[in-house]
Amino acid sequence: MRANPYRRRRNGVTMLELVIAVAIVAILAAYAIPSYWSHVARGYRIDAAAAVYRAAQYIEANAFAGVTALPSGLDQSPQYGTAIYRLRLEPGDEVNGGYAVEARPVDTGPMRDDTCGTYRLDAAGTRSNGAVAKDGAPSTDDCWYTR
């Protein structure tokens, strides 16, 4: 039996197959991209909390040297590269026990609208976040990942 000589052989993809493939990719991207960004934001938050602890450790180690500002590298999070959070040292008073370190998101950075807001640690070990008081904001423990 011979093949029909007038029938052409197709070697491509039909428009329907292409539309189905694009739809599948779009559905996967709709779930994957937000999940990816939530993991990136979690990494930034963990790095900000670690930076606050590093700065507090530096202050405690140099308490007798009269530290009034954080040195380069300890004044931002991440420690190297483009800053996502800026750290600053607040002077001591009777409320914070001697000092407080604050990590505030950079105004133009990716964490500027983060629900955890500003990370704050004082000499007494009290942790807080500037945005936790807002409705719908996560608890301090959720922001500092202590659970």
Q: What is the pTM of this model?
A: 0.75
Domain boundaries, the chain: 15-144
Tell me the CATH number for domain 15-144.
Answer: 3.30.700
pLDDT, tens digit (0-9, with 9 covering 90-100), for 71-100: 888 899 888 889 999 999 887 776 666 788
Contact (CB, 8 A) for 123 and 100? yes
Contact (CB, 8 A) for 103 and 48? yes
Enclosing H/E stretch for 89: strand 85-91
Comparing 24-28, 66-70, 71-75, 76-80, the range with the smallest average pLDDT is: 66-70
